[in-house]
Structure 1
Amino acid sequence: MGLLYTAAFLLGALICTVGGSDVEGYSKTEGAWILSLNKRTYSVNTVAECATKCNTETSFTCKSFIYNEKDQECWTAAVNSKTHSVFRRSTIALYERNAYLLECVNGIGTDYRGTKSKTNSGKICQRWDSSYPHRPNFTPQSNPRADLDSNFCRNPDGDSNGPWCYTTDANTRWEHCNVPSCSEECIVCNGVNYRGKISTTENGFTCQRWDSQKPHNHGYNPSTLPQKYLEENYCRNPDGDPRPWCFTTSPSKRWEFCSIPRCTTEPPTIIPEVDCVTNQGLAYRGTIAVTETGKTCQSWSAQTPQTHNRTPQNYPCKDLDNNYCRNPDNERRPWCYTTDPATRWEYCNVTRCGNEAAPDDPVIPPDTENCYEGNGSNYRGITSETISGKKCQRWSSMTPHKHDKTQEAFPNADLRRNWCRNPDGDQAPWCYTTDPAVRWEYCNLEKCPTKPSGTTRPIQQEPSTNTQTPAERDCKTGNGETYRGPTSVTVLGVTCQAWSAQTPHQHSSFTPETHPTKGLEGNSCRNPDGDVNGPWCYTTDRNKKWDYCQISDCAGLECGTPVVKPKRCFGRIVGGCVSKPHSWPWQISLRTSNGIHFCGGTLIHPQWVLTATHCLERSSRPSAYKVLLGVHTELATEPSKQEMRLEKIVKEPNGADIALLKLERPALINEKVQPACLPEKDYIVPSGTECYVTGWGETQGTGGDGTLKETGFPVIENRVCNRPAYLNGRVKDHEMCAGNIEGGTDSCQGDSGGPLVCYAQNRFVVQGVTSWGLGCANAMKPGVYARVSKFVDWIDRTIKTN
């Protein structure tokens, strides 16, 4: 994220079991491999047995182990990710002992096994196995159980003041180290790294659990924001506020700050960026003090002409001196308040390091981004999701996963943003993930066909006419965990061994008994372990224990999976990006009875369309409207056009801006007309999720008039959107915000009623209905959408009873 912290990065914080682990006392990372000269190999049946091998290892102090579940292989190692490089390896999981990941002490710290290597006065520690400049009384040989590794601070003699080390200063034999207490409840800087367990607010309200939506709905979902450590109901700071906060269990108090004292220890060391910025520019410490439009910046300590809380006192580690451009609150790039009373704030024009694109630069992807050729080394599309739907980590970032795949190390690999790439010649494009528990995965991309196909794949018109579920068809969704099709040969044409058989290959990890819900009754390809590469099986070839199966993707056979993949450009509808024809096949044009387009809508069922209530103000009669499907241009001259009259209009009964239109007959579902998926009931889209709006609306003279346009922008949590500087409390719980705070990207007149779709689990889900906004693409005035998940019951009930 642009900050290069020293080992003090986790000051005052516990390393938690990230993403959970199936072994107590260990943190698990999928797809990770660690090299160690000091290791032992075992053949085991379960991961628990492998953990036991590590716990009872006598040849060395075991700090981690690697387990290959398919091959039932176990490697114990004397190192972990704190001291050694971690590499990518599919089907492998790295388990690290939590005790060796802690960067804090319990009691006097005799069990401290962290990596702090500086004393209280900043002196570098001497290696424990060295005799220079000081001859030690404690060595790795004389104290084998003290883990006197490298030059890390330790407490081999039970010193009551905690860990210490010999120093590299000839005049100072030894000093104590400034290692924080694991039980100390305090915050460093503004507490974004706070991992303590305080769960009451400054006025005594009990915090609501982060994984709960009661009594307050919110977009801070622990499962989709794993790097934010949203555990239990503990106070946290996921969005760069002045200090940690939480939603409360009081229906009358949505959220409040927590009262947590500041730590007395020194804040993290930062390597400042003076002449240029990387990523969001969090480390920028230069002296530019004008905005990108030339306005002079207001001093951070001043409250005129702009009043604010981004003060040096609230953000003590952000170097808010004078009026220099900074990024104290995790915005997209450095910014400042301006001295122009009419302009509250603007971004600054700070040079970016190297050829890296700014996080908010408009992106218009190439037409070739749908697939990759060969092994994908030349893939240059903008897909940034993995095969299991995880978001990719930026290549220039070292969190949550440290790595060496950088633009400098691979200058020809186009490692920009978080786009899927293949810098090391792997079998397909991949990326590191933003999930701390999963190091990397292959991306959600297919190989380009060797020759164009002239046929189209039909989609089932009515779910009732097809007795097979998507999982039972001979195709897979995502990584194929739900695949229950009949294929039973590997990619090389070898017949699969029955899952219940033990010949020619013995195994105990995956059988009908151990995984009764995974469809392991016969010898068909399955994915019982959620392998990112898809279904596999044990083979009947004695020389090949297991292999993957070739299962086609179900794209085009289900809702939200268009046959023509969208560009998904982060351009603008107001100023933006013309869509690929029929890449958003659920988009409809709502027209007057004489054919004039005035609103959009979303096909969610062969005979039902979702739109906004305010689009229907001109008349309550169905005969006043008609719907066009399968069109890309506003002229609607395409042969694929389907024109429908309306049978019924159903408005949401409580006055929300959402309505259903029943078509006079079911639409013909094909590759150009297809429904979007509905969300889960009451699902709240996580803050920062990239979503897309489409429409034929107002472009304000920017071109592309008359063709379907698209734009992508992030969801903004209602808590942020309702701040006084933005929409000032106007957004209701059954609504949601999306857009760029700086403006320039928005839905507009003519887009009303159209879809806001978000990509999740390899399909597009309609999460919002375009409702209202204060102007079009205005700064600090994001668009507002009816939150579809709040109306799922009403939608289901309406469709079934009408």
Structure 2
Amino acid sequence: SAQVRVFFLLLMWERGGQTLENSIYVRTEGAWLLNSKKQTYTTNSKEECAEQCETETKFPCRAFLFTSKDQQCITLAENTKTAVLFRRTNAVLYEKRIYLLECKEGRGKDYRGTEAKTQKGVACQKWADTAPHKPNYTPEKYPNAGLEENYCRNPDNDEKGPWCYTTDPNTRFDYCNIPECEVECMHCSGENYHGEVATTMSGLECQRWDSQQPHSHGYLPENFPEKDLKMNYCRNPDGEPRPWCFTTNPNKRWEFCDIPRCTTPPPVPAPGRQCLSGRGEDYRGTISVTESGNTCQRWSSQSPHRHARTPENYPCKNLEENYCRNPDGEKMPWCYTTNATARWEYCTIPSCDGKEPDTPAVDQPEQAQATEECYQGNGVSYRGTASFTITGKKCQAWNSMSPHRHNKTSEHFPNADLRQNYCRNPDADSRPWCYTTDPSVRWEYCNLKRCSDNIQMTLPKPPQTTLEPNPVFFFTSFFTDCIHSNGIDYRGTVARTARGRTCQEWSSQTPHKHDYFTPRTHPKSGLEKNYCRNPDGDVNGPWCYTTDPRKAWEYCDIPKCPPAQYECGKAKTRPKLCAQRIVAGCISHPHSWPWQISLRTSYGLHFCGGTLIDPQWVLTAAHCLEKSSRPSSYKVYLGLHEERALETSVQKRDVEKLFKEPHRADIALLKLRSPAVITDQVIPVCLPKENAVLGGREECYVTGWGDTKGTPGEGYLKETGFPVIENKICNRPEFLNGRVKKHELCAGNIHGGTDTCQGDSGGPLVCLDQDRFVQHGVTSWGLGCAQPMKPGVYVRVSNYIPWIKSVMENN
């Protein structure tokens, strides 16, 4: 029976040490899915909600929503591939992995992927349409067959697998080229391997994908929901020649797995394109010259450049001759060159829609400067270059399917001008919007105002924060009866809600049963007695369960602390968020990075950067302090934009103490002799959570007054934005060849042109988290400046949060 199956399923999770989110579900925090088919239940835990999903009889349950406060469980017939995702505090979305995978098992009757073209490359007709072909299989007749949109399906269990009606009037239907889910063996490079091998070629046990021990990494299951990164099974999420895993051996970061090749031939590939669509992974044309005019090296050759992108390692990628290809998920087709001084370069491929090929938004220096743009009506006609959402998230490029797959492409909406990652309104919504580069937030409206409005549109309430409380908040508000920000660190004694109801004790289960927010589950949240608290970071502030059986919980009315304090990571001047190189001189908006400091000699000469993390503490690189161990040798300048430091906003501070990280990591703390005065030009940055890891390709920003290599802009604070590069990739032989340590991180454009340089050392690498900037890196070292294949290296700040807090508390 269904109940017996659920019992054994839950028992398997418990005995296997698994959780819902790393077994058959993918978890997304702070999400709400708009579904027409749903059922609502009251449950005490996510496991009970999963049981409701498994036993759902109204429809096939593809996902469920669970809210811990309200103990509400909503089973859903759709997931993020077919329904609209909204943000909602305190809700968690769980999606079944099987409906996110892009491969089939057997005949593929249960295939629920999003392939929408036939094996010959013809677009599929929507199942609900009656033209050009009148269908026998429709959503009304076969409601459980997954006949949504125009996705390939197999409603009649055809032995040849999924198919669709075509948009070609002369061809009624055709089969689709859906790869087999490989379990016992692998085809091609093992991209679809979903087996349970969990040891490497040398016999090492694999590290769990959701673990950061012994190796920290960016391949988190929530960042790659379609890659099936569950347990510690070998997978290939990043275009390697075959599946691999991080190992449990501290001395061996990762290794390939020994997955046998299937004896059956791989599926016949669909006909490739002769033009560029998306990232060009299906480009099969014969262009063999790079964008700078270099001739391509043959893929089968190892001269002049040795490499692993060979036809043998990538047997399904058509690496014949020296034609430009994209075998590993780069942003566009590329090749190794016959020029010994240029290892590889991108190729210029004509776009399939006849437009000029899009260059990624990261290479557009002015994309975020259009702060005064506006839109008419509902913004359908908006053609500006805004590319950030109302909560500060960068927009995903419309031609990209990462991190969010969608059908809002120029092919489906040819008149919507879906270029690069600019805000648009292709579906006539209430105002322009975009998909975001945050894997957990599918889309948001853009930070634009109507042309008829005199003021900026009111921002919605921000989502719950995941930031570590800044030390100044933590120390000053621990015992007070007022709150800073959302009051996550409030430890006062208010025990009554805003409407006068008495709070229920957190350790009590009467009158309201709750399994999630207890002193046992949240030992660091101060859940003593019945005092108002904010254990889940609710943006509206502290709350409590009530003693009124009719009302489960309510917010508490606790006043805000006096405004003399600051909000970390929030500049009063909106930053430019420029993506041009520092070396080439992208000058920042004055005082838009108010945590940036200039570290100087005792006579005022700038030589390093640093970051204000507290009114009396600065974070910098240890190698900046090599010349002298005497604090009197250094001065800290704050609140400046020009290196000359003649502005009235400049504050100068002597250094009282120096603290280098005791294990010789390139990170150090400076205690100022007197605290900085917090002004609009001087504001500390936020610190990350302990051991927080950034996902690969997350865009961050660096700032500094460093060397510009003779280009304009010298003497002004400059900035650049570029993606974080996972250490596993950065340590490849063609990049930094194993030099990057686990307490460091890489960032930069691997084709060069964007980097920090001499004089930027010790400065911050910051990333936008909701509406605040968090410092994830300290500028440490690099091989040259802005060189191809040589990204910059930064000390990973999250590894040193305990050390930072210890030094500050004890000094």
Q: Paired residue for 1:705, among 714, 731, 740?
A: 714
Give the match for residue 205 of structure 2.
Answer: 206
Give the match for residue 681 of structure 1.
Answer: 690
Q: Distance in 1 between matches of 2:146 and 2:672?
A: 74
Change in CA separation of 1:103 and 1:162 when aligned onto 2, cut-off 3 Å:
farther
Q: Deviations over 1:358-413 (max 9, x none)?
A: 125233234344997899845956555685x8775432234565544334666676
Change in CA separation of 1:395 and 1:242 when aligned onto 2, cut-off 3 Å:
same
Q: Paired residue for 1:86, among 64, 78, 83?
A: 83
Residues 26, 225 of structure 2: 8 Å contact kept: no
Q: Deviations over 1:431-463 (max 9, x none)?
A: 4356777644456899998399xxxxxx99954
Q: Distance in 2 between matches of 1:165 and 1:422?
A: 32
Give the match for residue 193 of structure 2.
Answer: 194
Residues 209, 229 of structure 2: 8 Å contact kept: yes
2:477 is the alignment partner of 1:467 = yes
Q: Paired residue for 2:578, among 569, 572, 576?
A: 569
Give the match for residue 292 of structure 1.
Answer: 291
Give the match for residue 667 of structure 2.
Answer: 658
Paired letter, 2:663: N
Q: Deviations over 1:643-665 (max 9, x none)?
A: 11122222233333222222110
Give the match for residue 273 of structure 1.
Answer: 273
Shift of 1:57: 7.7
Change in CA separation of 1:154 and 1:55 when aligned onto 2, cut-off 3 Å:
same
Q: Paired residue for 1:395, among 390, 398, 402?
A: 398
Shift of 1:223: 3.7
2:455 is the alignment partner of 1:450 = yes
Give the match for residue 365 of structure 1.
Answer: 367
| Paired residues for 1:239-638 under 5 Å | 239-263=238-262, 264=264, 266-267=266-267, 269-270=269-270, 272-278=272-278, 280-352=279-351, 353=353, 354=355, 357-359=358-360, 360-369=362-371, 377=379, 380=384, 384=388, 387=391, 393-398=396-401, 401-407=404-410, 415-418=418-421, 421-424=424-427, 426=429, 430-433=433-436, 439-441=442-444, 450=455, 462-463=472-473, 466-467=476-477, 473=483, 557-638=566-647
Gaps of 5+ in 1: 1-18, 169-173, 453-458, 490-494, 502-509, 538-545
Paired letter, 2:634: Y
Residues 700, 768 of structure 2: 8 Å contact kept: yes
2:777 is the alignment partner of 1:774 = no
Change in CA separation of 1:63 and 1:793 when aligned onto 2, cut-off 3 Å:
closer
Shift of 1:323: 0.6
SS state at 1:737 partner: strand
Change in CA separation of 1:306 and 1:597 when aligned onto 2, cut-off 3 Å:
same
Q: Distance in 2 between matches of 1:351 and 1:585?
A: 43
Residues 581, 753 of structure 2: 8 Å contact kept: yes
Residues 117, 152 of structure 1: 8 Å contact kept: no
Residues 638, 651 of structure 2: 8 Å contact kept: yes
Q: Deviations over 1:326-383 (max 9, x none)?
A: 1212223222111122322222233445356312523323434499789984595655
Q: Distance in 1 between matches of 2:275 and 2:103?
A: 35
Residues 472, 483 of structure 1: 8 Å contact kept: no
SS state at 2:765 partner: strand
Q: Distance in 2 between matches of 1:682 and 1:52?
A: 33
Residues 478, 492 of structure 2: 8 Å contact kept: no
Q: Deviations over 1:608-628 (max 9, x none)?
A: 212222222333322222111
Q: Paired residue for 2:795, among 782, 786, 797?
A: 786
SS state at 2:205 partner: coil
Paired letter, 2:477: T
Question: RMSD of the TM alignment (CA)?
Answer: 5.9
Q: Distance in 1 between matches of 2:513 and 2:50?
A: 24
What's the TM-score, normalizing by structure 2? 0.73
Paired letter, 1:599: C
Deviates more, 1:704-713 or 1:641-650: 641-650
SS state at 1:744 partner: coil
Q: Distance in 2 between matches of 1:225 and 1:100?
A: 14
Shift of 1:574: 0.7
Change in CA separation of 1:98 and 1:210 when aligned onto 2, cut-off 3 Å:
closer
Paired letter, 1:243: R
Paired letter, 1:625: Y
Residues matched between the structures, number: 735
What's the TM-score, normalizing by structure 1? 0.73
Shift of 1:578: 0.9
Change in CA separation of 1:424 and 1:254 when aligned onto 2, cut-off 3 Å:
same
Q: Distance in 1 between matches of 2:19 and 2:395?
A: 20
Change in CA separation of 1:288 and 1:195 when aligned onto 2, cut-off 3 Å:
same
Paired letter, 1:432: Y
Q: Distance in 1 between matches of 2:266 and 2:34?
A: 34
2:236 is the alignment partner of 1:237 = yes
Change in CA separation of 1:393 and 1:287 when aligned onto 2, cut-off 3 Å:
same
Q: Deviations over 1:742-774 (max 9, x none)?
A: 111111111111111122343222222222222
Gaps of 5+ in 2: 1-17, 167-172, 458-468, 505-510, 519-524, 545-553
Deviates more, 1:369-378 or 1:723-732: 369-378
Residues 745, 795 of structure 2: 8 Å contact kept: yes
Residues 473, 484 of structure 1: 8 Å contact kept: no
Residues 368, 388 of structure 2: 8 Å contact kept: no
Q: Distance in 2 between matches of 1:367 and 1:119?
A: 42
SS state at 1:799 partner: helix
2:750 is the alignment partner of 1:748 = no
Change in CA separation of 1:235 and 1:621 when aligned onto 2, cut-off 3 Å:
same
Paired letter, 2:359: A
Paired letter, 1:569: C
Shift of 1:481: 13
Shift of 1:311: 0.7
Shift of 1:778: 1.1
Paired letter, 2:218: G
Change in CA separation of 1:391 and 1:605 when aligned onto 2, cut-off 3 Å:
same
Q: Distance in 2 between matches of 1:714 and 1:317?
A: 28
Shift of 1:289: 1.0
Residues 499, 511 of structure 1: 8 Å contact kept: no
